[in-house]
Structure formats: C-alpha cells, structure tokens
Structure 1
C-alpha cells in the first residue's frame, strides 16, 4: 500500500538516498563518474536536500511503500534567473523510483503539488526538465505545462540544457 505525507526532518538520509537512486536510474549513463558524484553530493548531500527539510521556504511531499520513500515532490519559491510573478511557485524536484512508474505515484504527487500551489495563492507553477527527458515532458504536458524557454543545468562540470515549463493555474 502506498501512503503520502509531508516529509519530516528525520527523513533526510532516506530521502537523499532515494533521490540519488532516482537520479542515477534516470540520468546516470549521461555523465562521467566524477560529474555525477559531484552533482549527487551537492544536490543530495547534507547541505542539499536534507537541509531543506527544515527550511520554511520549501515543502516536500513523500510517497511511501511501507516505510520506504519511493517518490517525492519539492515546492518552493521560484529561483530561476529572470523576472517572475510574485504569485509563481517552483516545482523543484519530482522523483519517483523506476520500479514504481506506472503505479499512480506520480499522478498523486502532481495532484498534491497543484493543490498545494493553489492553496498557497500561486497563479503559475514553474519547473525545468532535461530537454531529452521525453517521458517527463509528456507527463508535464498532460497537466497543461508549456515550454517557455531554456536554462542551463549543471551536473558537475557538464552543462545541459533544460526546458523551462509553466502551468498557469
């Protein structure tokens, strides 16, 4: 049975391990070992995702199978360069372990993310997605997200292109 709840500070190590696993499952073959390691340490090390669990600017919702975190979505203020509406919110990370794809986890997390956004007065949701992550693009487009530009995304020394996408609520 899959359950959902807000992440807690104590979830830090398990959440970081799940995020690392999901990132490697999806993108691990694209990068050198050193670039991948540098990114994983920065994004999911103690000063990355786990530290945001106690930051009031971020809200993280987790999906659990028993006690195991199998997915999560992170919401917070828009940090992309440029001018953004004051009522915009950013969907930072949206990860579901590969074994759980097709089980409804992503749809439940997205429903939560959109409800959370509306409840907190957001009029638009902004996210970035790797240009060649076609599965993610199709998923976001089903919800009405549209491409609005490109942004550089760094993984170690490698700089990739991400699409910026927006959903007007």
Structure 2
C-alpha cells in the first residue's frame, strides 16, 4: 500500500479537502476524550476558511497531503521561523500536525508524512525538529519516541474551555 501513496504539497485551491481531512482526523483522534461542545468549538475555530487561508498563504508554513488513488487520507503541517507556535527558533522546524484517517492507521502513512517533514528540515539545514503531543495521546507518543524524539518541556493546549497538557519533544538532526 505505502508504495501507492503520494505525498504532495497542498495549494490554496485545495482548501475544501484540507478542511474536510483536518476536521475528520481531529474528530477521530480526540472526540472520545473530549466534550462535544469543546470539539465543535475547536474545529470551528481552527479549521475555518479564514484560519486555513491564513495558514496556507503563510510563507513559513507548509501543508502536505498523503493521497491514495487521488483520495486524501492524511496530512502534514510544518512551520518555520516566526510561524512556529512556540520557540520560533530559525534553526528549528515544528511539526504542528500529522493526521491520518483512522481506516489507514497502522499502514505507515504517518511515517511517510513524518519522513517528508524530516527531509524538508534537512534541506533547510535546521538543527532540530520539535513538536507538541497531548500527554494522553499514547499512540502519537510511542510513534515519536520510536523516531528518536525526547521530551524537553510541557505546555498547555486549550481545547474549547479545557486546558490540557502537551508534552514538547525534540529531535536533533545530523545534517
């Protein structure tokens, strides 16, 4: 299956597909652990056309789709410089989001998106890659630890009116 997956950068005219996969995968990942009200509030704010347009037109952010037979099955969002959600270090790249449709979990799609992020980080000569992972998202924590990330800090992530703890993790790159 992985050999048929295409990873490609998203353009602004694909905002509908980005909104759809973004809302779908976030809901699949977190709806069981959060109130419906908080989920609706977060999805409405973070995946609005206005917010996605700002992010897609930001020179320091890039989105990539994972597609199978022209169907979007996952996506990646990375940030550089001032567009990083924290740190804002010019020597780093932030992986803000890697999400894959639930039906494709365990099929190495997340690894392909992750590999793309690392490839870009190396092309840009960044010294390290960092990200935040919800402390209760054990699947994601295992994935990043397996790929060599180590925890270096924590921060609060607001989902609606619920404050949650994200573990901040980083990976030093050998360029």
User: TM-score scaled by structure 2?
Assistant: 0.90
1:96 to 67, 76, 100: 100
Equivalenced residues, count: 167
Structure 1 CA distance for aligned equivalents of residues 123 and 52 of structure 2 = 24
Alpha-carbon offset, residue 84 of structure 1: 5.7
Q: What residue is the counterpart of 2:123 in the other structure?
A: 119
1:48 equivalenced with 2:54 (yes/no): no
Structure 2 CA distance for aligned equivalents of residues 49 and 146 of structure 1 = 30
Please list the CA deviations of residues 14-65 of structure 1 after superposition, one character each: whole Å capped at 9, or x if unmatched: 1111111111111002222221111001111112234312221111111012
Contact 1:15-1:50 within 8 A present in 2 as well: no
Q: What residue is the counterpart of 2:152 in the other structure?
A: 148
RMSD: 1.4
Q: What residue is the counterpart of 1:163 in the other structure?
A: 167
Decide which moves more: 127-136 or 30-39: 30-39
Structure 2 CA distance for aligned equivalents of residues 7 and 16 of structure 1 = 12
2:85 to 76, 79, 86: 79
Structure 1 CA distance for aligned equivalents of residues 52 and 103 of structure 2 = 22
Structure 2, unmatched stretches of 5+, are: none
Structure 1 CA distance for aligned equivalents of residues 85 and 28 of structure 2 = 26
Structure 2 CA distance for aligned equivalents of residues 112 and 11 of structure 1 = 19
Decide which moves more: 111-120 or 71-80: 71-80
Structure 1, unmatched stretches of 5+, are: none
Contact 1:149-1:164 within 8 A present in 2 as well: yes
Give the 3-state SS of the residue equivalent to 2:13 in structure 1. Answer: helix
Structure 1 segments of 4+ aligned residues over 2 angstroms from their partners: 47-51, 83-86
Give the 3-state SS of the residue equivalent to 2:155 in structure 1. Answer: strand
User: TM-score scaled by structure 1?
Assistant: 0.93
